[in-house]
Amino acid sequence: MSLDSNVMEMQEKALKIAKYYMKGFGNTFFEIVNWSYHYKIRPERKECVEEAYACLKEVESFYEKIPFEELQNEREFCPLFCVRQMLPRFREKMEKRFQECNDTTYKDFGDEAVAIIRVASAYDNTLRKLLKKNQKIP
């Protein structure tokens, strides 16, 4: 394989990975957890619940549009599959958090958010490494 074809392949891979990259993904989960915290302090503020669910819906909608069947044999996309599997459990913890507003549900919910962010960071790292390699090409 020639250098040009390697470069083209690497650029195509970076573009494909970037296509399924959700900018602000981690911040969205921190925002959801933050809304749940504010709700614990002031449960009369129902907009906290609405805002948290709106943020989660944004993530879920993004993931619904990813063509997972086309990506299943490409290891770079593994974190996307993992996050997709984690989202229903996150939603369950979130529902429990808003129903039972206590320290235990807050910790469980926050831990689940952190786990999702950590898995997603592997995808972010893959994209960043590819972009760095592409920048080094003359």
SS (H, E, C) 85-108: HHHHHHHHHHHHHHHCCCHHHHHH
Predicted confidence at residue 5, as pLDDT, reads 75
Whole-number Å distance between alpha carbons of 34 and 38: 6
Per the listing, tokens 């469980």 go with 108
3-state secondary structure (DSSP) of residue 15: helix
Q: Please state, in angstroms and rounded to a whole number, the distance separating the CA atoms of residues 110 and 97.
A: 10
The answer to whether 66 and 99 are in contact (CB under 8 A) is: no
**pLDDT tens sequence across 23-69:** 999 999 999 999 999 998 898 999 999 999 999 999 999 999 999 99
- Output the pLDDT for position 3: 56
Nearest residue to 22 (alpha-carbon basis) of 111, 112, 123, 114: 123
Please write the tens of the pLDDT for every residue from 77-103: 999 999 999 999 999 999 999 999 888
The pLDDT confidence band at residue 2, using thresholds 50, 70 and 90, is low
Judged against a pLDDT cut of 80, whether residue 122 lies above it is answered with: yes
Phi-psi domain of 24 (left: phi exceeds 0; alpha: psi -120 through 50; beta: other): left
Residue 134, pLDDT score: 73
- The pTM assigned to this predicted structure is 0.88
